[in-house]
């Protein structure tokens, strides 16, 4: 999560953190009752760092108007008309731009340099990090292997050997890995995906049920004849 990179950059944590309603952060935000249910992972992250999470009102863009204007400023001033050979080059450019341009300009509203105002007023309002290490959480969830030989974690799908279709498995997510086991036996291990709605397939898990070359590319729905599904899970289609 990018929040802690901000904490380290500014040298501390704010009391409140206002977020949008992205699925990895908010499970529910009722626009009528304003009932907010935060994602368990994000809730644990907030508790670890000690800040109070707040979600924007749904369908109310002006809730974070100042943030959105800042994004537009970065796009126009730092990025527009430029090309970068890699993410590393892009990040290096932004760090240099923030230090030499964004922090040193005279702000239109405050009439002073942002870095001066931050050091004088805002830095003292942050809770010091005191050498706290990054948040690392190990989660354990239970899933049923679906008919396409995959289990879902955080909207992403990971394959397991087809013999475990319809079986209940235990999934541990820790330190960038997704470890899948059944009855204490490890049956699959994948690298955790940082995005959403992605499918990770180990072709060895499908050996024996798909007559395809080892390097065949698969879509999010495994391409196999319906007769093969019938053979595996039983029943007619």
- 144-160 burial code (b ≥16 CB/10 A, e <16): ebeebbbbebbebbbbb
The per-residue pLDDT for range 58-100, each reduced to its tens digit, is 877 667 666 777 888 999 999 999 999 998 899 899 999 999 9
Q: How far apart are CA 105 and CA 95, in angstroms?
A: 15
- Write down the pLDDT at residue 137: 64
Provide the pLDDT for residue 78.
Answer: 93
Q: What is the mean pLDDT of residues 186-213?
A: 84
Whole-model pTM?
0.54
Partners of 180 in the beta sheet? Answer: 171, 188
Tell me the domains of the chain and their CATH numbers.
Answer: 3-128 (3.30.420), 139-233 (no CATH)
- C-alpha span between 43 and 21 (Å, rounded): 14
192-204 confidence digits (pLDDT tens): 988 888 999 999 9
Which of 12-21, 159-168, 171-180, 202-211 is predicted with the least confidence, judged by mean pLDDT? 202-211
> Can you give the pLDDT at residue 234?
58
């Amino acid at each position: 999560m990018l929040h802690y990179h901000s904490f380290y950059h500014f040298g501390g944590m704010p009391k409140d953190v206002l977020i949008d309603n992205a699925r990895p952060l908010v499970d529910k935000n009722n626009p009528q009752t304003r009932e907010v249910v935060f994602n368990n992972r994000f809730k644990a992250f907030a508790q670890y760092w000690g800040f109070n999470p707040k979600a924007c009102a749904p369908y109310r863009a002006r809730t974070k108007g100042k943030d959105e204007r800042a994004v537009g400023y970065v796009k126009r001033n730092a990025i527009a008309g430029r090309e970068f050979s890699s993410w590393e080059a892009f990040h290096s450019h932004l760090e240099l731009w923030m230090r030499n341009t964004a922090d040193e300009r005279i702000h239109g509203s405050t009439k002073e340099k942002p870095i001066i105002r931050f050091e004088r007023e805002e830095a003292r309002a942050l809770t010091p990090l005191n050498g706290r290490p990054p948040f690392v959480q190990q989660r354990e969830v239970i899933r049923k292997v679906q008919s396409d030989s995959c289990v879902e974690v955080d909207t992403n799908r990971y394959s397991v050997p087809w013999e475990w279709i319809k079986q209940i498995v235990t999934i541990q997510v820790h330190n960038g890995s997704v470890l899948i086991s059944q009855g204490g036996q490890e049956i699959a291990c994948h690298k955790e995906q940082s995005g959403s709605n992605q499918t990770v397939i180990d072709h060895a898990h499908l050996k024996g049920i798909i007559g395809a070359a080892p390097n065949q590319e698969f879509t999010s729905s495994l391409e196999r004849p319906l007769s093969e599904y019938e053979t595996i899970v039983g029943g007619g289609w």
